[in-house]
Amino acid sequence: MSVTESKTELYDLGGNGAAAPAESGGVAPGRWASMFERYVQPCVAEILGSALFIFVGCASVIENVEGTGRIQPALAHGLALAIVIALFGEISGGHFNPAVSLTVFLTGGLHAVLLVPYIAAQVIGGMIGAGLAKAISTSETYSNASGAAFNAVQSDAQVSAAIVAEMVMTLFLTLAVCLGAINGRTRSPLAPFCIGLTVAANILAGGAVSGACMNPARAFGPAVAANYWSYHWIYWVGPLMGALLTAGFARLLLGDRKIRVLLK
């Protein structure tokens, strides 16, 4: 089985209701082993991958004391995301983002029963990652960076621009996921790196407008750790709107015949 085929099956976790594949020895796994691999392992992978990604992302913001601007956070977030997708992708699909999970679910790549557990796992991982970043930081650097919580929006006048920025950047990110890892005509084994590069590019482009979150779990973790909730809702509304747009594009226009609902 090729890498591309394996990843396609993975994004269809439970989507077709089929039993888990037999092991290489030709013996089908037991019922409990199959359920563990189908439901428990993916959630554990989402917790651990989200924690590692968000730890690196938060630490890069908190420890950005050299005044490198957005370059350090962009590289840290993009590289960390590419790595955790490559590491955990064959277990959970490598979402690590509620907006990504919503897109994958709406395009038929994730069973409905896993959507809420995935999002819960990502939020838990976000809190763990943000807590670890806080644990290794000095109180001064942590306070100066607001604990890596998103603080780009300081007034109501900035809200509209921030929502649009988060929506468009998440649209770009979830398109990279959908077309790079799910859509049969365009998927590529380089998808983890394309997705990571998309995050880095978005941070460089839109970091000054909204902070370039694109990930409600990345926003929620440090908000809890730092108790910083100013305009926090933006980082749920904007990314989820972007995810819905991507699902619409995939289902109506860009998807292959398996995904598209029109003109199959």
pLDDT value at residue 61: 96
Calpha distance 62→57 (Å, rounded): 9
- Specify the residue for token string 């109180």: 139
pLDDT value at residue 66: 67
Contact status, residue 209 vs residue 231, Cβ threshold 8 Å: no
Calpha distance 2→35 (Å, rounded): 24
Helices (H), 1-111: 3-11, 31-35, 41-62, 71-92, 98-106
* Per-residue pLDDT reduced to its tens digit, 209-236: 999 999 999 999 999 999 999 999 999 9
* Per-residue pLDDT reduced to its tens digit, 145-181: 999 999 999 999 999 999 999 999 999 999 999 999 9
Q: Enter the tokens of residue 76.
A: 């840290």
Handedness of CA 84, 8, 92, 236 (dihedral sign): positive
Q: In order of start, what are the domains of the chain with their CATH numbers?
A: 3-16+34-254 (1.20.1080.10)
Q: Is the pLDDT of residue 18 over 50?
A: no
pLDDT value at residue 75: 97
In angstroms and rounded to an integer, the radius of gyration of the C-alpha atoms of the chain is 18
Q: Is the pLDDT of residue 13 over 60?
A: no
| Per-residue burial over 214-230, b = 16 or more CB atoms within 10 Å of its CB, e = otherwise | bbbbbbbbbbbbbebee
- Which percentage of the chain shows pLDDT scores above 90? 83
What is the reported pTM?
0.88
Handedness of CA 144, 148, 152, 154 (dihedral sign): negative
Nearest to 150 by CA among 229, 206, 54: 229
Q: Is the pLDDT of residue 133 over 80?
A: yes
Angle 122-163-61 (CA atoms, 0-180°, nearest 5)?
Answer: 55
Mean pLDDT of 201-210: 96
Contact status, residue 61 vs residue 73, Cβ threshold 8 Å: yes
